[in-house]
Structure 1
Amino acid sequence: MATLRQLEYLVAVVDTGSFTRAAELLHVTQPALSHQVRALESGLGGALLERLPRTVRPTPLGRAVLPHARAALADAERLRAAARRTVGLEEGELEVGTVHSIALGLLPPVLRAWRKLHPGVRVRLREYPHADELRAATAAGQGDLAVGPVPAAWDGPVRELGVEEFALVLPPDDPLADPPGGVLPLAALADRDWVHYAPGHGLAEVLDGACARAGFRPRPAVRTEQTAAAPVLAAAGLGPALVPATVLPPGLDAAVLRPDPPIHRPLAAYTRTRPDRLTTAFAELLAARARP
């Protein structure tokens, strides 16, 4: 199997017409260069160079091999250049896994800022309905960075991002739409039918857990798989909804209240191994934007 070093030595000898000049150009000793060329010839099964009194020229086998050697060296240089550009945050692709609510709320302004800072770096999003699915996919090697609820028993690096705050959404004409200070005890909605989330959706567990702590179980009036649909359905009068505050659409005709007690969940960015420079830069921007 030919190595890149052997191919580089072959091309240098052909281009300079001399083992001595090629060795000087590559800053190696002539015996070392000659040894590598002989090893390449042995591996390919024949002489590649004809040694003449005043010059060196390729044999027919050498002429056949030479274009492929040049192409391999050019490919290697392009690979090194691409790596340098990625390390320099000029080009590349970053794969980010997240849950639906964060893809709707936290990430869009971060992605917009990232695009302005690093227009040559593409971002691919992988979205999951539940934090457990995000964690499992990340552990299985999908994505460079996961952004979601803090994972339990995670072995890799974890960077905390703060908390995701939740709000209650009611139609504007609801009798409870204007409580003192805009704060409504969750227990005040115990007798209501709720805009709930589909089974397997991570926010279904958040709602069920919050209501259980308030002493009741929410009755679903409707279940949705789409996080963005919950506040719209609540505003339309189908029942109260508990939604991440960051996903509330601008201009929503609804009463948006703070639950009592407050409901939130910690968020984090995490990776399987020590992140590279590209992933680290995105996580730093995310942390700066996520915290108040």
Structure 2
Amino acid sequence: MPTLRALECFVAVVEAGSITAGATALHLSQPALSHQLASLETEIGTALLERLPRGVRPTPTGRAVLADAKASLESANRVVQTGKALADGTEGRLRIACAESMTVPILAPTLRTWTRKYPDIRLDLTEFTSADAMAEAISSGDADIAIGPASARFLGEVVEIATEDIVAVVPAGLDLMDHTEVAWVDLAGRPIVHYHHDNGLRLWIDAVASSHDVHLTAVTRTRHATTAAQLAHAGLGIALVPETALPPRFGGVTKPLRPRLQRTVVAMLGSPSDVLVQRFVRDVRGK
């Protein structure tokens, strides 16, 4: 297979009209350039240049392969330029997984900045209701970075982004409205707007309640924390909701839990050394 250097020499000589001028254009000695041309002609099996008293011109075969030779050099140059742009972080594609309740409050400011600042970087966003599902997306190569709660199943690099409280959304008229906090024991026997098994909050909240000797009675289940907050506000029952999942200008009543319940928001990284991944995490953290 001909080398790019041999093709470059061939094209340079044709465009310059002589071996001497071609060697000068490429900053090569004439013997070195002639060796590259001979190698290319041997590879193809016929002469590509006709030597004239004053310079050279391509043979019929030379004219036939000239366009492809130029195209090969242009393609190689694009490979280098694209690689440099990706290495510099000015172009590329970033596949982001995010917990559905965190897309707007945590990711939206960074996404807005990136779409304006880096128009040549494609951002693909997929929302999830489970940290384990996001971990799987990272591990299988379907996402480059995941923003949300930590997953015990993810064994790669994890960066802490922030922490958030889980609060109780209390329906209007309930006696708990007068409490400054809601103790776990206050939830026993009351209707709870709980989560579908697809949502990782379900198992976690049930485990915390069990540690306080409380069994939660689900009156309905939903896959989305924002919906849980709205259903609680509508009077269906009490919902335990991450603060990031509360709708903007939420009109419902929220109470902190006693003892306080928090979860850590992390970034799970599929390619920790990638320039885009590093920059995105830094911007999400505000550092």
| Normalised TM-score (structure 1) | 0.88
Letter in structure 2 aligned against 1:240 = I
Would you say the 8 A contact 1:235–1:252 is kept in 2? no
Q: Give the distance between the partners of 2:23 and 2:121, measured in 1 at CA.
A: 39
Q: Give the distance between the partners of 2:5 and 2:203, measured in 1 at CA.
A: 58
Unaligned runs of 5+ in 1: none
Choose the corresponding residue for 2:187, options 186, 189, 197.
Answer: 189
Deviations 1:236-257 (A, max 9, x none): 1111111110121122221011
Q: Does 1:176 align with 2:138?
A: no
Query: Structure 1 8/287 Cα, relative in aligned 2: closer, same or farther at 3 Å?
Result: same
Query: Structure 1 residue 148: deviation in Å?
Result: 2.6
Q: Give the distance between the partners of 1:138 and 1:109, measured in 2 at CA.
A: 23
Query: Structure 1 residue 151: deviation in Å?
Result: 4.0
Choose the corresponding residue for 2:216, options 211, 215, 218.
Answer: 218
Query: Structure 1 residue 222: deviation in Å?
Result: 0.9
Q: Give the distance between the partners of 2:32 and 2:143, measured in 1 at CA.
A: 44
Could you say which residue in structure 2 is the equivalent of 1:5? 5
Query: Structure 1 235/59 Cα, relative in aligned 2: closer, same or farther at 3 Å?
Result: same
Could you say which residue in structure 2 is the equivalent of 1:19? 19
Could you say which residue in structure 2 is the equivalent of 1:30? 30
Q: Give the distance between the partners of 2:51 and 2:275, measured in 1 at CA.
A: 48
Deviations 1:118-161 (A, max 9, x none): 33322101223321121122112122222233344755433221
Could you say which residue in structure 2 is the equivalent of 1:280? 278
Q: Give the distance between the partners of 1:147 and 1:56, measured in 2 at CA.
A: 62
Could you say which residue in structure 1 is the equivalent of 2:131? 131
User: SS of the counterpart of 2:173?
Assistant: coil
Q: Give the distance between the partners of 1:109 and 1:83, measured in 2 at CA.
A: 28
Letter in structure 2 aligned against 1:237 = G
Could you say which residue in structure 1 is the equivalent of 2:71? 71
Q: Give the distance between the partners of 2:87 and 2:231, measured in 1 at CA.
A: 45
Could you say which residue in structure 2 is the equivalent of 1:96? 96
Could you say which residue in structure 2 is the equivalent of 1:167? 167
Q: Give the distance between the partners of 1:163 and 1:258, measured in 2 at CA.
A: 15
Q: Give the distance between the partners of 1:179 and 1:145, measured in 2 at CA.
A: 40
Could you say which residue in structure 2 is the equivalent of 1:269? 267
Would you say the 8 A contact 2:144–2:271 is kept in 1? no
Could you say which residue in structure 1 is the equivalent of 2:119? 119
Q: Give the distance between the partners of 1:270 and 1:32, measured in 2 at CA.
A: 52
TM-align CA RMSD: 2.3
Q: Does 1:57 align with 2:62?
A: no
Would you say the 8 A contact 1:172–1:253 is kept in 2? no
Letter in structure 1 aligned against 2:255 = L
Query: Structure 1 residue 209: deviation in Å?
Result: 2.0
Query: Structure 1 20/113 Cα, relative in aligned 2: closer, same or farther at 3 Å?
Result: same
Q: Give the distance between the partners of 2:249 and 2:162, measured in 1 at CA.
A: 26
Query: Structure 1 residue 14: deviation in Å?
Result: 1.0
Q: Give the distance between the partners of 1:96 and 1:266, measured in 2 at CA.
A: 18
Query: Structure 1 residue 55: deviation in Å?
Result: 1.0
1:175-254 pair list within 5 angstroms: 175-180=175-180, 183-254=181-252
Q: Which runs of 4+ in 1 moved over 4 A?
A: none
Unaligned runs of 5+ in 2: none
Query: Structure 1 52/157 Cα, relative in aligned 2: closer, same or farther at 3 Å?
Result: farther
The range that moved more, 238-247 or 128-137, is: 128-137
Letter in structure 1 aligned against 2:144 = D
User: SS of the counterpart of 1:101?
Assistant: coil
Q: Give the distance between the partners of 2:40 and 2:185, measured in 1 at CA.
A: 79
Query: Structure 1 72/248 Cα, relative in aligned 2: closer, same or farther at 3 Å?
Result: same
Would you say the 8 A contact 2:132–2:153 is kept in 1? no
Query: Structure 1 residue 3: deviation in Å?
Result: 3.3
Q: Give the distance between the partners of 1:61 and 1:93, measured in 2 at CA.
A: 41
User: SS of the counterpart of 2:122?
Assistant: strand
Letter in structure 1 aligned against 2:193 = V
Percent identity reads: 39
Q: Give the distance between the partners of 1:41 and 1:217, measured in 2 at CA.
A: 82
| Normalised TM-score (structure 2) | 0.89
